[in-house]
Amino acid sequence: MKFLKKLSVFLGFTILILLVARFLLLPHIFPKRYQAYVEQYAEKYLLESSFVYAVIFTESHFRPDAVSPKNAKGLMQITDKTGQWGAEAIGRSYSDKVLFDPEANIEIGCWYMNKLMVQFHDKEETVLAAYNAGSGNVSKWLADEKYSDDGLSLKEIPFGETKRYVKKVLITKKIYEVLYGREY
């Protein structure tokens, strides 16, 4: 009887810890900041919001003033070249400050991710590799049998940083889906 009582107390305590972690702790670690913009532009550009949140989390940890060593800027770490191209394509004015504006950054980032989704046939891993390493590199890899069997998806990513990036974003996307459900 003592064993069953100890087991039930242990299980109850474990369940309580899991519930606290799930409903109180994890949403603070994996927030839905800029939710209105993410949901608006994810929907407009036919992306899952969990995919956009995962990219923002991985790229900048939701810091709109983030700048990478390669001078990518803002929440979704967009380069000036891509930012200027994207702003022009969607009818936004562009200046060197626009990528630090959360709404503009998220819209341009979602526009660009949509372009990559179309170019790479909705293959998330391939899209993420292109987002990180450039679509030119990924197109070369897809044409090389060493990296792709079918010319559509990558069996191997030759850049270690890009391989880690893809894995991290996909894991983060899964966490967002578990916490908040799949949202389009």
**pLDDT of 111 above 60:** yes
Question: What does the pLDDT read at residue 124?
Answer: 97
The mean per-residue pLDDT over the stretch 19-39 comes to: 79
Whether the CA torsion 28, 58, 104, 113 is positive or negative: it is negative
Question: What does the pLDDT read at residue 184?
Answer: 54
**pLDDT of 25 above 80:** no
Largest CA distance in the chain: 73
Question: What does the pLDDT read at residue 3?
Answer: 76
Q: Could you confirm whether domain 34-180 is CATH 1.10.530.10?
A: yes
Q: Which of 74, 70, 83 is nearest to 162 (CA)?
A: 70
**Residue among 39, 43, 48, 59 flagged as catalytic:** 59
**pLDDT of 19 above 90:** no
Is 43 a residue of the active site? no
Q: Which of 128, 177, 123 is nearest to 151 (CA)?
A: 123
Q: Domain extents for the chain?
A: 1-30, 34-180
**3-12, 91-100, 150-159 — which is least confidently predicted?**
3-12
Q: Which two tokens stand for residue 111?
A: 């526009």
Question: What does the pLDDT read at residue 22?
Answer: 60
Question: What does the pLDDT read at residue 9?
Answer: 62
Spacing of C-alpha 171 from chain mean position: 10
- Over residues 118-161, the pLDDT tens digits come to 999 999 999 999 999 999 999 999 999 999 999 999 999 999 99
- Over residues 32-80, the pLDDT tens digits come to 999 999 999 999 999 999 999 999 999 999 999 999 999 999 999 999 9
Question: What does the pLDDT read at residue 6?
Answer: 72
Question: What does the pLDDT read at residue 20?
Answer: 52
Higher pLDDT, 26 or 79: 79
- Answering whether pTM is above 0.85, one says yes
